[in-house]
Chains A and B, each alone.
Chain A
């Protein structure tokens, strides 16, 4: 019977329980048509569904945590459906009735799916309920009609909620709202999208004071965070939604691929395991192959096709591919025409298609909860176990996979923690509320602080946000058109003119499109110049291209491409004849190792008893490390130094994830530079960081010039960080997002598409101006807040520096240790970063002086016929 409902989100299939055990407590809560409908199908509602119904009817807001396939969605709608049944059909000619239930999902495809699957039981039961969707694709005429004659249940996305509440008719539209259902709440709350939605919910509570919320979530580390999120927060009191727990699903069957081949020291391709992976694909109906980055997806796809002797239909799916191409893959998948899909996180969420019976995770999962959710993609029926194979790409990943597998066994969760509400999002919301109606600053403040992410917002910060919306802040005060809201005589804030509201609606949302350039494949003609036209291959981030020079080759869409240059808004590439891309490849989206898994790996290293689970080759590797150098204790930071060639290396085993290591690398090289040790570069992996220098690092540490304690002192997060941030492109990128979300820069204008490049140039400039002239600008504060947890992972680095204080162990070796090999092999493969390298200029300029002694001009410049003090010269 499950077969007939192979779409996992089918509400009916979510209630597959034998009718025999229908004598559950609460079963009588079901009104007649519902009970009959279940009975007719020999189904019965599950305990958690009935519990949720009973408690919601009693007036509680609730969080339901249940595994995939446990009937969460039907549970979420039961209170609404039974309430609407009790209300009955609205008589024609009665007064305007607003919507009864709002359902919000992170994906519009999911909303559409739910409409289909909810309509069937509603019609079969003959309930007097109208269900409609509203997404970005909904035609204007339908939206218009929905405003005049709202459905009972509206299925929509967070962005649409923001649009609806910013409308002048919001009050009327939402006045009868009883329930708000949040699907996949765990994935919504940790992003800026969740911040905006929490503010929207605060507004909904004001428009419909009696409303109840129902959150549906997969298992998370801190359910209490979600429970608070769902209800109104007030200072001094702890209010949170009730908790309903679903049954535990069948335990997934997870194995780590025990390859006959040698597991490599480093790398992410898992090339060694390809024959075994291919064999697994052959033995299953449909396999989903997950990887962590787009570049890995590209490589894996290429490797599989290299050995695909049976030409099994294997497809590729990632976020930078052309939309048409992605849609084609999705369609083929839904029709069960594919045997395998190589995918990145674009497939983490949402509707599932086809009969996936195996998940293969290539490369380490990076987080225990991530792994659990990805495995849930296989087989959406909770009584049957999902199957998954983990394929570590290198030796550290073997340990990480083992840690993730252990975590899955004990059900440990490491979902990211909730963060404080972002200020750029708040700025957007403030403008939206002015679009709805003139607002009183004090009243709006108490409204927004009732949303959990903003509960602790200082009043003064709120004023600064309002001021930013009103004037734009520094320099923009002179320009009338940046005054988006104005204070009326009555002391209310209102929008300056109707265009402001129009612009707001056009640019609303928190998903900022990265400046992407279209990749176009061109050919060189006989004269060597580039032709026009050619196929479009997809999009790459402009920031990636900034690090490339014409002639560099990289891997994209399964091809090795040669970068030719940028023409207008397109990146021109040609087919490269080399099979060996020079630039590491296009690495979009890297997830750092979760703190939880990092800790487990550290514990595993320190405890030889735990090595039994590991393959022989990995065990040997650790034993040799113990003999030659040492294995760090759990709370200890091991630093090894050794010479190699003409250089001196330092390897730091911090296990804090690539992002935090990169930041640490930047800061350490600055410090070593100052200490005169001539650092040359660094490279970071998820597990360790290698820094190399011209001078003897071990000697310097021994004579305490500087001591390691001083080198790793927390104060590096002070001035050194500030100085580096001045120039960091990563921070500029973060700022750009904030500026777009806060409405300082518009992404879209009616009829005028602004190119990402213009936005970037403009944003970088504003960033420089503000840093020099208004360092406490609210958007810079928002940027720092983002950077702390985002690209720079400063928060994690700070926690590590504190933890290791007084626990640094230095081993001065005379050669490389086994544990250092993986990161050392990354040297030359990984780009250090996209920073501008003045050192290259300095090197060239020195060359010039040495080599061009015959050049008169240069001799003058370098040996100075002029006095050094130019001030004296000037007065001649």
Chain B
């Protein structure tokens, strides 16, 4: 998948590339970049940006060229331009480590400020960045309750209804004949929604993994997979044919 190229592309009918769904009665749109848009409230959700992951590695002496922040922000700004949301919620693990936001180079800081202009921006704290986002527009919070939904980083095992969470980086494997394809996905059973990781250097965890156990009613679970240029919706029971 090359979300970067897609972000730069001219797309006539963006709606046809997305998948529509309903979470706890709220209409939502899964887009092929891994962002969730709630049209009624003009709210955009992204999760697990893991910004400055390359820099975090570099701090530990492992020099990977830090293209990740740049790439993630390029995609994000395309997504924001596309939906023009009133509110942006970044669902935690916004930065790869605690000091990430403080060390963010100025050019990226300016780019985020540009994106946030004229919108509300909420940074939900994650396990990688529990101290909030330093020196960036918007506010930090552990949880957000809004429009009948709860936005938090880690999915809670008890309260599932109306929860939008990240943290687990869900992905799903579709298998047909001899071929199998594994992609990040939105996962929802209509009660809650687990968001795919938005950052470009993030891995994935299969929906069948132990950590996912008990989160969903499997019979209603649908994976909205991020294809190369559109979202594909496949029921959990139908992933492996």
Give me the interface of A with B, judged by CB distance under 8 Å: 472, 475-476, 478-479, 481-482, 549, 582, 726-727, 744-746, 749, 752, 754, 758-759, 761-762, 765-766, 768-769, 771-773, 836-838, 840-845, 847-848, 851-852, 855, 857-858, 860-861, 866, 868-871, 873-874, 876
Contact = CB atoms under 8 A, between A and B. Distances in A.
A726 B2 contact: yes
Nearest to B200: A765
Given A549-B180, A876-B39, A876-B40, A842 B71 contact: no
A870 B179 CA distance: 34
Nearest to A843: B176
Nearest to A548: B180
B233 interface: yes
Interface string B1-43: 1101101100001111011111000010100000000011010
A847 B238 CA distance: 8
Residue of B1, B57, B66 most packed against chain A (CB within 10 A): B66
Given A861-B21, A861-B233, A752 B61 contact: yes
State the main secondary structure of chain B at its contact with A: mixed
Contacts of B179: 837, 840
A860 B20 contact: yes
B135 interface: no
A841 B225 contact: yes
A769 B71 contact: yes
Contact of B63 (A481, A838, A851): A481
Interface residues of B, number: 62
Q: Sorted from nearest, which 10 A-B pairs have the closest CB atoms? A: A870-B15, A845-B232, A841-B232, A762-B64, A549-B180, A772-B4, A844-B174, A844-B234, A768-B4, A840-B181
Given A478-B107, A549-B173, A765-B200, A749 B233 contact: no
A837 B181 contact: yes
Interface string B171-210: 0011110111101000000100000000011000000000
Contacts of B19: 861
Contact of B181 (A772, A838, A868): A838
A632 B115 CA distance: 62
A783 to B, nearest CB: 16
Residue of A746, A838, A852 most packed against chain B (CB within 10 A): A838
Given A745-B64, A752-B62, 4 more contacts: A475-B67, A727-B2, A768-B2, A871-B15
Contacts of B2: 726-727, 768
A842 to B, nearest CB: 7
Contacts of B159: none
A837 B232 CA distance: 13
Nearest to A476: B65
Contacts of A479: 66, 105
Interface string B93-130: 00000000000010100000000000000000000000
Nearest to A866: B20
A772 B67 contact: no
Contact of A844 (B7, B21, B71, B176): B176
Contact of B65 (A766, A837, A858): A766
A848 B228 contact: no
A689 to B, nearest CB: 20
Given A749-B62, A769-B71, A844-B232, A726 B15 contact: no
Contacts of B62: 749, 752, 754, 758
Contacts of B200: 765, 768
B170 interface: no
Given A772-B8, A840-B179, A857-B222, A874 B84 contact: yes
29 contacts: A475-B66, A475-B67, A481-B63, A549-B175, A582-B178, A727-B2, A749-B61, A752-B61, A754-B62, A758-B62, A765-B67, A765-B68, A771-B5, A772-B7, A837-B181, A840-B180, A840-B181, A842-B227, A842-B232, A844-B232, A844-B238, A844-B239, A847-B238, A855-B235, A857-B222, A868-B13, A868-B15, A874-B39, A874-B84
A843 B233 CA distance: 11
B87 to A, nearest CB: 13
B157 interface: no
A504 to B, nearest CB: 13
A768 B64 contact: no
B160 interface: no
Given A769-B70, A857-B190, A861-B233, A874 B228 contact: no
A841 B29 contact: no
Given A845-B234, A868-B13, A749 B63 contact: yes
Contact of A868 (B16, B54, B70, B175): B16
Contacts of A765: 67-68, 71, 200-201
A43 to B, nearest CB: 57
B176 A840 contact: yes
B161 interface: no
B227 A838 contact: yes
B21 A857 contact: yes
A857 B219 CA distance: 13
Residue of A761, A852, A857 most packed against chain B (CB within 10 A): A857
Contacts of B84: 874
Contacts of A762: 54, 64-65, 67, 201
B171 to A, nearest CB: 13
Given A752-B61, A848-B234, A840 B20 contact: no
A432 to B, nearest CB: 18
Contact of A860 (B22, B70, B234): B22
Contacts of A761: 201
B39 to A, nearest CB: 5
A481 B105 CA distance: 13
A848 B235 contact: yes
Nearest to A549: B180
B228 A836 contact: yes
A768 B66 contact: no
B236 to A, nearest CB: 11
Contacts of B40: 876
A754 B65 CA distance: 13
Contacts of B71: 765, 768-769
Contacts of B21: 857, 861
Nearest to B7: A772
A735 to B, nearest CB: 13
Nearest to A753: B62
Nearest to B61: A752
B147 interface: no
